[in-house]
Structure 1
Amino acid sequence: MQKVGLLGGTFDPPHYGHLMIAEEVLEALDLDEVWFIPSNEPPHKEKSDTKVEYRVEMLQAAIEDNTNFKVNQIELKRSGKSYTVDTIKLLREQYPEITFYFIIGADMVEYLPNWYKIDELSKLVQFVGVKRSDYQLKSNYPVVQVNIPGVDISSTLIRERLSEGKSIRYFLPESVIDVIKEHQIYGSK
């Protein structure tokens, strides 16, 4: 049976932190692939102002050199909030031969009790919590822990740096920077 990690997010923009998490979990759990799932409307934060097609193009550019990484647009095909339980149900229907591992950050592990239909969801998918030194990863739900090196990069930081005219070099792949410049995303030129 194939083993696939799922990494959801707005990816606005995707950066080296996302890629490192995916690679570390892929290796630690001996997964076959990691699928990046851009969200349409995340339930725990504001909807992205960046056009969906730009976020997908940036994500595809970010992973283009890794054959174990794929983009799955399942949440972009639905309207309304992107609840993980709905996504997992659909993926299990579409791919019954795959065992899925849902990758979440340490901050989300602590937030699990607040997730929509968490009791049902925890029976449908194995959670994988990526552990950083500043979080304990304590949860009443089954969570496999994977330690990752600390990289303090966020999409918010990158957008702020762009708005301030600062460099984002070494924060994300050059291919993503090219997409940002081509479409003048975040007002960049």
Structure 2
Amino acid sequence: MPHDHHDHDHSELDDMTSRVMALEKLLTDKGLIDPAALDVILDTYENHVGPRNGAKVVARAWTDPDFARALEEDATAAIHGMGFAGRQGEHLTAVFNTAEQHNMVVCTLCSCYPWSVLGLPPVWYKSMPYRSRAVSEPRAVLSEFGVTLPEGTAIRVWDSTAEMRYLVIPMRPEGTEGWTAAQLEPLVSRDAMIGTALVGAPS
């Protein structure tokens, strides 16, 4: 299964990249898109309204019990209250990892994804191998991302749709007692908020 973390079979990724580049060139040649404007849009979602927004939500949930409860009750309202709204962020549910249950998100039909808190979806999230195998063999998929969970930890897979998208709130790592939300934010990765990574203890 091709994704960001491994160097094995990248044929699907390479094929998709080639098709995207060919389409972009065709649309540019026809004057239908401006590459510079496209770069601005991509930069906005990747770096400004992307995973850093989600990291702020997670760090606040770790440090503010009232906010964590609000996330559990109505994640859409709680996240919009932080100013993180917009495309594909209209309907959100936060799912909390615990020692007993690990949550993982997939979209089996297409690539529904909460852009407002995670930015643009990674290529592997949209790939057919991930979309099918995350449901049928989640523990094996997680192991390919380098995540090995205790046998006693249940894995729950959440299927995103146009009506509901999910944000995983990973477990707060040990060794961060007394840390502020601002200090915790850099520890939170995009993949941890999809459920395909863990948040490690600070070095």
Task: Settle same-fold status: TM greater than 0.5.
Answer: no
| TM-score, length basis structure 2 | 0.23
| TM-score, length basis structure 1 | 0.24
